[in-house]
Amino acid sequence: MSNPFFEPLADTGIPNFPAIRFEHYREAFDRGFEQQREEIQAITSNPDAATFANTLEALEHSGALLRRVEDVFWNLTSSHTDEALQALECEIAPLASAHGSSIYANPQLYARVKAVSEARESLSPEQEQLLEETLRTFIRAGAELSDPQRARVSAITEQLATLCTRFGQNVLKDNNDYALALHSRDELAGLPDYVLEMGRDEARARGLSDAWVFTTSRSSITPFLQYADNPALREEIYRAYSSCGTRSVDNRPLIREIVALRSERAALLGFATHADFMLDDRMAKTPGAVRELLDQVWQPCQEQVSKEAVALAACAGLASEQELAPWDWWYYTEKLRRERFDLDPDELKQYFKLENVRDGVFDVANKLYGIDFRERADLPVYHPDVQVYEASEADGTLIGYFLFDFYMRPSKRSGAWMSEFRAQSNNGERITPVIVNCCNFPKSDPCLLGVDEVRTLFHEFGHGLHGLLSNVRYRSLGGTKVKQDFVELPSQIMEHWAMEPAVLSSYARHVHTGAAIPDALINKLKASELFNQGFATTEYVAACYLDLAWHSDPDAGARDVEEFEAQALQDIGKTPLIDPRYKSTYFQHIFSDDHYSAGYYVYLWAEVLDADGFEAFKENGLFDPATAAAFRSQVLERGGTADPMSLYRAFRGRDPEVTPLLRNRGLL
């Protein structure tokens, strides 16, 4: 049987998933590595003087086969993996890392790129940006170091690829290994019907007919903590969640090794810490700038959370907030929410059927940018749950394809994310993108979403629009290939439309009657928006500080993980009632790969931009054509083709202000 990766992609760009077999991956990787090595050799051995075309563009075009297999493999190891894929992932991760290092630490190739830079041909702004980004990539890979230093940087990066892969696989295993199985109605006291049904569905999926099963997935544990009357059971599942990465597996040795290697690599490259190294290539630039932003939010946030704790203790009938436990917060918050706003989340969920929310986000995209989405059930998918949509302009011009993978399953890692099976480019041939959004909603019929899950869907769709509407010449500058603290702007600004009354009334329909969500319920929802924001901000910002602590201390790798974490949180005066959103042993953002390391703050940084940016829509109209056109042309279409702050200024007409963020979080 021929290897489908060796065949050109279909015109749609969607891989031929049904034809792909496990044995095809390694064969395609091996040939892809070899083919790109030959392409790089052709560039470096070219006797002609280095030019943008024969060096930068040739490098950009190289590795087409490798990209075809990588785009499928790395997506599926996150969204639909198994033991065989995980074993192969452990083999491929260091090989892929070594292959990348062999390119960007290649002295002959770097010499040609430098020659192009020094010659300074007449280049377009996008070509200038590609040249600058390529030079930066070479330097950050060690191209200007001595041969032994460069070899050590490459070896460290290869080791990190293996360690980070193991870290992520361990989190998936620990999450899958835990289940809280309940067998009596007494244990289920307080849980509403939709939570009970979710527990029944999970039990059936595990082959248990006489139980209700709850897991540490956010979609399962959060409603359990909100409603379960039994404090011992709340404590049990909370402790299981917060000890992930230490139960059936132990991520602590991996953390220490990852942190130590990152520190060593940063020092070799001339940086004081890994945080300095990572932030040098972001908008923030320095750890000090990040800490300044966090500090601006932390102080008013702690004042707010103290008030919230007092109110919860009173609701619980306790003498002092010190008597509260971390697993009590959700439970009494839910009671207080009902008391203050007469807001029943179970009633609210009846208006957020998954399919309606999906159609709602399509409608927002149509009103803003004129995009139409049409389901294509005839196109191949990698799992039966995946839905494919064809996206086109109002005039019928094809934009690309959008895949939705909504439901949780044991083969999918936790969380929600956007990725792509093919990136957009237009360098001689127009290549349309293939985007995928992955979520972890409980698979039930009907699937009803909570407010946070609705926002998650809008958020990931915003990332999807960033990739879908990309309109650049060079693939490596398109879509979400931007500075890490700019990438969350399109996703977070999209969240604002989710809860706007005019938008809610169009898509929030009762699951049984089809009636639009009543104004009274919208008013309750809007009135409660600032409720519990002290808690939400505390758990997020505490995780940001923890990330920064791990990567700002050159000696952190030599420390005991629990002791280091405790000290980092003590240093900021965090209340013991609220844990960081992620503790170190399951903090996948920062330990499953490099991208968000020393960068978990980016959501807050981008929130400054999105809160300020949405003010333009509030001032001019939610669907104002001119404002939407400016955001599309200056942000969504431009990818990483220019400095991100210059793109924001081109859209907004000025620098962003932090006041809207503080107001949106109730922290003024």
Element (H, E) at 180: strand 180-182
| 617/64 Cα distance (integer angstroms) | 40
Under 8 Å between Cβ of 4 and 16: yes
CA nearest neighbour of 564 among 584, 579, 582:
584
Looking at the DSSP bridge assignments, the partners of residue 180 are 214
DSSP for 62-125 reads S-HHHHHHHHHHHHHHHHS--HHHHHHHHHHHHHHHHHHHHHHT-HHHHHHHHHHHHHT----H
Q: Would you call the peptide bond into 446 cis, given omega within 30 degrees of 0 as the criterion? A: yes
Q: Which of 57, 453, 460, 637 is catalytic?
A: 460
Question: What's the Rg (C-alpha) of the chain?
Answer: 25
Element (H, E) at 340: helix 329-341
**Side chain identity at residue 49, one-letter code:** A
Looking at the DSSP bridge assignments, the partners of residue 374 are 390
Alpha helices in 370-488 (DSSP H): 451-468
| 257/245 Cα distance (integer angstroms) | 15
How far, in whole angstroms, is CA 162 from its chain's centroid? 21
Sign of the torsion angle spanned by Cα atoms 587, 590, 592, 595: positive
| 646/643 Cα distance (integer angstroms) | 5
* Residue 358 phi, psi (nearest 5): -55, -45
Say how many C-beta atoms besides its own lie within 10 A of residue 124's C-beta.
11
**Side chain identity at residue 406, one-letter code:** F
CA nearest neighbour of 648 among 621, 604, 612:
612
Q: Tokens 């179970």 identify what position? A: 346
**Side chain identity at residue 639, one-letter code:** G
DSSP for 260-317 reads HHHHHHHHHTT-SSHHHHHHTTSSS-SHHHHHHHHHHHHHHHHHHHHHHHHHHHHHHT
For the question of residue 562 being annotated catalytic, the response is no
How far, in whole angstroms, is CA 263 from its chain's centroid? 24
Name 111's Cβ contacts closer than 8 Å, sequence gap at least 6: 50
Greatest extent of the chain over all pairs of C-alpha atoms, in Å: 82
CA nearest neighbour of 572 among 532, 613, 599, 544:
544
Would you please indicate which residues are annotated as catalytic (active-site) residues?
Answer: 460
